[in-house]
């Protein structure tokens, strides 16, 4: 099965084409996108990646997309594109947590992403990111006060997040940020098992309201 994977929840974005089978997930092609270009570049980048992999749109077989937490705008662009493609093509769609992609590097992990405003997106996963135990938006104090879990290691992809945890005495595994290839590697085995999301109900994992929603609520 071929898989089209999208990642637009971080500062940079990417599109990957992968082949999934009993022997694992093989990434055939990955194309990068610069920050703040997703709206204009995502569709053309998908076309370029498919062309480079010598595949047509319907040859993709399935679609997987990172659904957050992360950049609100990036989540919406990636998710809207993936849902539109799934609706138009009838291809199965699977949503992937950005925190699960980080957690996939360890058997059991507490994955952390910077949420701004001295807050952090934190999720605990087992089974190398396959089983979510919890995901929350935490203040710095709440994150550092969270009781330890046996055999769960901290993992981050941002140096300043690792520094915050390290200053509190935590041992942190600092890794490269997730990308579309990591979306494909996480989603591929699940797709082969027949797992998918209903595109009509698919929504982003924001973990907090946008600034616009906060301002609207305050104005009422």
pLDDT(43) > 60 = yes
Q: Tens digit of pLDDT for each residue in 140-159?
A: 999 999 887 888 999 999 99
What's the pLDDT at 211?
56
What's the pLDDT at 220?
53
According to DSSP H, which parts of 53-179 are helical?
72-89, 98-103, 140-145, 159-167
What's the pLDDT at 150?
84
pTM value is 0.93
Mean pLDDT of 193-199: 92
Distance CA 49, CA 27 (A): 11
What's the pLDDT at 216?
44
What domains appear along the chain, each with residue ranges and CATH number?
2-97+178-219 (3.30.420.40), 99-174 (3.30.420)
Q: Tens digit of pLDDT for each residue in 73-96?
A: 999 999 999 999 999 999 999 999
pLDDT class of 57 with cuts at 50, 70, 90: confident
Q: Among candidates 195, 206, 203, which has minimal Cα distance to 93?
A: 195
- Given a contact cutoff of 8 angstroms between Cβ atoms, the answer to whether 62 and 4 are in contact is yes
- Give the rounded percent of residues in the chain with a pLDDT score beyond 70: 95
SS3 of residue 108 by DSSP: strand
pLDDT(179) > 90 = yes
pLDDT(132) > 90 = yes
According to DSSP H, which parts of 33-125 are helical?
38-52, 72-89, 98-103
pLDDT class of 210 with cuts at 50, 70, 90: low
SS3 of residue 137 by DSSP: strand
| Backbone phi and psi for residue 90, each to the nearest 5 degrees, phi listed first | 80, 10
Mean pLDDT of 5-33: 96
Mean pLDDT of 182-208: 93
Per-residue exposure over 39-67, b if at least 16 CB sit within 10 Å of its own CB, e if not: eebbeebbeebbeebebeeeebbbbbbbb
Supply the mean pLDDT for the chain: 92
Crossing angle of helices 38-52 and 72-89, in 10° steps, is: 50
The encoded tokens of residue 176 equal: 């490269």
């Amino acid at each position: 099965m071929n898989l089209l994977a999208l990642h637009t929840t971080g500062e940079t974005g990417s599109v990957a084409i992968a082949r999934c089978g009993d022997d694992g997930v093989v990434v055939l092609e990955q194309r990068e996108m610069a920050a703040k270009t997703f709206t204009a570049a995502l569709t053309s980048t998908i076309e370029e990646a498919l062309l480079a992999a010598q595949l047509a749109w319907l040859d993709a077989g399935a679609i997987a997309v990172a659904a957050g937490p992360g950049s609100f705008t990036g989540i919406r662009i990636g998710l809207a594109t993936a849902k539109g493609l799934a609706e138009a093509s009838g291809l199965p769609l699977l949503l992937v947590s950005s925190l699960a992609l980080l957690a996939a590097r360890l058997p059991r992990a507490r994955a952390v992403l910077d949420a701004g405003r001295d807050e952090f997106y934190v999720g605990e996963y087992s089974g190398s990111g396959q089983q979510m135990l919890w995901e929350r938006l935490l203040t710095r104090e709440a994150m550092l006060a969270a009781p330890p879990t046996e055999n769960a290691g901290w993992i981050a992809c941002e140096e300043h997040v690792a520094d915050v945890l390290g200053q509190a005495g935590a041992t942190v595994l600092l890794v490269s940020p997730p990308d579309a290839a990591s979306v494909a590697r996480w989603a591929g085995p699940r797709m082969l098992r027949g797992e998918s999301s209903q595109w009509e109900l698919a929504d982003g994992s924001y973990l907090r309201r946008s600034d616009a929603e906060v301002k609207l609520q305050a104005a009422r």
